Amino acid sequence: MKKSLVAMAVALCLAAALGAQAKVGPIADKIIFDVRMDQSIGIKDTVAGKTDVFFYGLDGKTFRSISAADRAKLDVYAIPSGSWSLLINNIPNKAPYTVTTKDGVTQFNPLAITKVRYAMNWLIDRKKIVDEILLGDGEPMFTPMTPGQPGTYRYNLIAAKLGMSNRGNEKKAIADIEAAMQEAAALPENKGKLVKAGQWWNYDGKPVTVKFMIRVDDPTGRLLEGRYIADQIEKCGIKVERMEIDRSKAGKMAYYSDPADYSWGIYTEGWGAGATRAWWDVTISQMYAPYYGYMPGGATEGFWNYQNKEIDDLAQKSGNGWFLTADEYWKDNLHATELGMKEAVRIYIADQIQYYVANKARFNSHMLYGMGDGLNDWSLRTADVKPVNGQKVLHATQFSARGGLFMSSWDPVGVDGFSDTYSSIVQACTDMSTNEAPNNAKDISLRAKWDPKTVQTKIVSGGAGKAPVGQIAVPANAIIYDSGKKAWVSGEKYVVNGSKATYEKDDHQTAYSKATTTYIYGKWHSGQPVTIADLMYSTAFVYDWATKDGPDDKSFDDGLASQYQSTLPISKGVVLNKDGSFTSYYDFNWPMDADRTAANGVMSAKAGNPGRGTTVSWEITEALAKLVTEGAKSGTTYTFASDASMTEVDVINPKCVADIKAKLEDFIAKKYVPVSIKQWVTPDQAVARYKAAIAFIDKNNNAYISNGPYYISKVDMNANYIEFSAFRDKSYPYKSDYWPKALAMTYTRIDDVKVPATVQKSKDLSINVSVSTVSYPNGTSRAADSKAKVTLALQLPDGTEKTFTAKYSKAGTFTGVIPKAVLSTLKPGAYTVVVLSSLGTKDSPAVTPTTIVVF
């Protein structure tokens, strides 16, 4: 009997040990997403365990309404992951500042005057908005760079240099706007038409009016922000039509309508951070550069579009790695940011601390999360919930005032696809070639592997005002895809002149960089292997759809051309090595980080939908392309754009999914193979792919066939329900415990900076800094020891800085000294001191700016 009990105990221990072993793929077996139309209900359901996590960032006012008893049942992730800005319709952006709409009515647009827009930076009291609307849960914001995130403090010093302040200067703003309006009134075209009549400006006898779209579905936030700003504008003699409307209507008007319709003037934007960033060049492109498609007109052909070539050139230069040194990178980015702030087509107001809550009892440990953007796909990949009936099922709830999870089209090709916060969940179903780590934003490999020691870069100056010149010879067997010839070729380069893209013969090309990478293939969710054909297809697809090879080229999309034509010349070709690796030659230089240089030269299975973490297998992309170029069985006219006159493709919409399936059946009947991959795929292999895709569609009722740790197993658009299931195929490269171990780290946090109220130039200045070390992702903290490194960076009037190392005093306390020899050289006034702390390993520095007053 005793032996039996011992044997049973051993068996139970072995079973427990096996159960605890890491599985292929993610930790959770399933994720079920649903939606609540009321945040308070979402919170209550999380507290009660009806859902595991409220996958939506709460504002401070809503979070504080949670009782202490309920809060004790929650894990809380507090992240500065939201921001508010104003988008301005500045048509025509030139004198005489009038717009004639399609109905023949001419109106005066005061927001077309740059001086008026710029003065709004002083008209708005950002501190008032943070204190009274956000209740302190945020900070005034002047640039798109979230205060406190890595690499942002240089950008956020620009506002002070321009004379902007948290409290603004209402008197100055009103005077500046009045002067700008008087200048406009004096223009010959406006004389006698634009006049001040009492309190109000009038044009042709009617009040000059701004149409202000204010988000009514954010009643405690942007609704109040918009009403306050509208009141401020009216103090300048400009009437405001308060258009209090919801996100769906406002978003369509702001981003997808022609500014020439003049249906709106200002929009209260709200942004999720999107990612935790170490570098902010992509943000400059997104928020200030017209080419990227986020400014008025959206880079849509046929619309009026805001243009600014200088910002476009600087943003593309930095984002594409076309610079020699780190100093040049910073100079260009800071200048582009300053230009964007002065143009004031998008004006930043505040960042917002958002609170994500999860049911504490349901989780075995904290999820990974973006330290700059909150809960994200990393959280879904690493959510460790307690099993029920042997399965780990994560219930995640979103908030939508309209009750909808499906706002934008799930279009994995077009630039407008997957453009809302809800659809970003699909990134948990997708492995990109590379990604940014959620803890320190470093470039990391998901499917493309490289050794940073083998990455080569050789460049020299190209002369004044010219791009650098690469010194690495591109071999004769390096190939690119020629969309006109529909063939892979060598000895050619892709050239963009203005809006025209062409190919030119060049047998003596050079490149900035050279990197050899290998790709971890695995399988698609359909069960078919990922192969070299997927990588070659996606590369060719981008060349094809971004290049107009003649007036009748159906395989061309304006949006894709707008974003890709500036990046395609980077590639000088790729060599397919006999060992299965790829050696890329490309004009990209990142002297600050070799991993980033390598990450920008890898092969990828992603075709289209730039800037978002989406990927589908080539047969799905090809079916979508043929729906657009050839038509669909249903007769629907499809497009890759958000165009009201047509239907954007959508891999979860039942009607579009049926048309995708019909197109795949056509491919089977024809034994069709796309021309770009004929040398890597036989007709029989292609047919096998099509059949497997159809089987996936029949089983799961969607066509999002990707390669990540989850796949979409159920979709009900009417019930606002979507389910992910773990992809447990043994080919998947990561086990469930890999990322929690790989991304765990310790970082520093600056808790307090103590400076005297005034500083005497004749004495050394001591600054005491309180620092903690924090474990990620668990959030436990302790006083920092001497391993922490703390520095003070005094910002000087000429744009340079002097740095001083703070010494360890005792647990958690560091003292830095700015010597009187430095202070004595300063003129009386206020100066910024940026305090930085780090452990000097893989963590990003914590940053806190403070002000000293020297007399």
Do 493 and 621 share a structural domain?
yes
Decide if 796 is inside a domain: yes
Structural domain tally of the chain?
Answer: 3
The pLDDT assigned to 549 comes to 94
Helix or strand or coil: residue 731?
coil
**pLDDT tens, position by position, 750-802:** 999 999 988 999 999 999 999 999 999 999 999 999 999 999 999 998 888 99
Last residue within a domain, chosen from 298, 316, 351: 351
Percent of the chain topping pLDDT 70: 97
Last residue within a domain, chosen from 661, 686, 708: 708
Do 760 and 666 share a structural domain?
no
| Nearest-angstrom CA–CA distance, 345 and 86 | 8
Last residue within a domain, chosen from 334, 351, 368: 351
What angle do helix axes 281-288 and 309-319 make, rounded to 10 degrees? 150
Q: Give residues with Cβ within 8 angstroms of 685, minimum separation 6.
A: none
For the purposes of burial, counting CB atoms within 10 Å of the CB of 256, is it exposed (0-12), middle (13-18) or buried (19 or more)? Answer: middle
| Nearest-angstrom CA–CA distance, 83 and 80 | 8
Residues facing 847 on adjacent strands? 836
Decide if 359 is inside a domain: no
Do 797 and 672 share a structural domain?
no
Task: At 782, list the tokens.
Answer: 């302790």
Let me know: does 489 contact 500? Beta carbons within 8 Å: no
Range of the domain at 530: 427-708
Let me know: does 530 contact 705? Beta carbons within 8 Å: no
Mean pLDDT of 638-648: 91
Q: Mean pLDDT, the chain, as a whole number?
A: 93
Decide if 318 is inside a domain: no
Mean pLDDT of 844-848: 88
Q: Give residues with Cβ within 8 angstroms of 565, minimum separation 6.
A: 496, 501, 546, 547
8 pLDDT higher than 80: no
The pLDDT assigned to 404 comes to 63
**pLDDT tens, position by position, 807-842:** 999 999 999 999 999 999 999 999 999 999 999 766
Do 265 and 218 share a structural domain?
yes
For the purposes of burial, counting CB atoms within 10 Å of the CB of 44, is it exposed (0-12), middle (13-18) or buried (19 or more)? Answer: middle
**pLDDT tens, position by position, 155-171:** 999 998 999 999 999 99
13 pLDDT higher than 90: no
Decide if 802 is inside a domain: yes
What angle do helix axes 170-185 and 114-123 make, rounded to 10 degrees? 160
18 pLDDT higher than 50: no
Decide if 137 is inside a domain: yes
Decide if 720 is inside a domain: no
| Nearest-angstrom CA–CA distance, 393 and 34 | 13
Residues facing 759 on adjacent strands? 854
Q: Return the amino acid letter for 771.
A: V
Task: At 395, list the tokens.
Answer: 């219930």
pLDDT class for 2, splitting at 50, 70, 90?
A: very low
pLDDT class for 1, splitting at 50, 70, 90?
A: very low
**pLDDT tens, position by position, 461-475:** 998 888 899 999 999
| Nearest-angstrom CA–CA distance, 292 and 314 | 13
Mean pLDDT of 127-147: 94
538 pLDDT higher than 70: yes
Do 775 and 699 share a structural domain?
no
Helix or strand or coil: residue 191?
coil
Do 827 and 683 share a structural domain?
no
| Nearest-angstrom CA–CA distance, 488 and 388 | 53
The pLDDT assigned to 221 comes to 92
116 pLDDT higher than 70: yes
Task: At 360, list the tokens.
Answer: 């504490």
Do 752 and 658 share a structural domain?
no
**pLDDT tens, position by position, 180-228:** 999 999 999 999 999 999 999 999 999 999 999 999 988 989 999 999 9
Do 532 and 431 share a structural domain?
yes
For the purposes of burial, counting CB atoms within 10 Å of the CB of 165, is it exposed (0-12), middle (13-18) or buried (19 or more)? Answer: middle
Q: CA–CA distance from 771 to each of 756, 783, 787 (Å)?
A: 19, 6, 11
600 pLDDT higher than 90: yes
646 pLDDT higher than 60: yes
Q: CA–CA distance from 311 to each of 97, 315, 319, 342, 566 (Å)?
A: 22, 6, 12, 11, 14
CATH number, domain of 111, equals 3.10.105.10
Do 197 and 135 share a structural domain?
yes
Task: At 390, list the tokens.
Answer: 């042997």
Q: Give residues with Cβ within 8 angstroms of 550, minimum separation 6.
A: 484
Decide if 627 is inside a domain: yes
The pLDDT assigned to 405 comes to 67
Q: Return the amino acid letter for 607.
A: A
- 807 CB neighbour count, 10 Å cutoff: 12
> Residue with structure tokens 């365990």?
49
- 223 CB neighbour count, 10 Å cutoff: 18
Nearest to 317 by CA among 567, 34, 616: 567
- Higher-confidence position of 249 and 533: 533
Q: Return the amino acid letter for 503.
A: Y
**pLDDT tens, position by position, 601-630:** 999 999 999 989 999 999 999 999 999 999
Do 638 and 756 share a structural domain?
no
Measured torsion, CA atoms of residues 536, 539, 540, 541, in degrees rounded to the nearest 10: 120
Do 754 and 677 share a structural domain?
no
Q: How many residues does the chain have?
A: 855
9 pLDDT higher than 60: no
150 pLDDT higher than 90: no
Percent of the chain topping pLDDT 90: 85
CATH number, domain of 793, equals 2.60.40.10
450 pLDDT higher than 50: yes
The pLDDT assigned to 402 comes to 66
| 72: phi then psi, degrees, rounded to nearest 5 | -65, -20
Helix or strand or coil: residue 267?
strand
The pLDDT assigned to 20 comes to 55
Task: At 809, list the tokens.
Answer: 């005093």
pLDDT class for 4, splitting at 50, 70, 90?
A: very low
Question: SS3 for 349-405, per residue?
Answer: EEEEEEEEEEEHHHECCCCCCECCCECCHHHHHHCCECCECCECEEEEEEECCCCCC
Exposure string (b/e) for 738-762, b if CB count within 10 Å is 16 or more?
A: ebbeebebbbbebbebebeeebeee
Do 830 and 696 share a structural domain?
no
As a whole number of Å, the CA-based R_g of the chain is 28
Decide if 797 is inside a domain: yes
712 pLDDT higher than 90: yes
Let me know: does 353 contact 374? Beta carbons within 8 Å: no
| Nearest-angstrom CA–CA distance, 201 and 438 | 50
| Nearest-angstrom CA–CA distance, 208 and 190 | 13
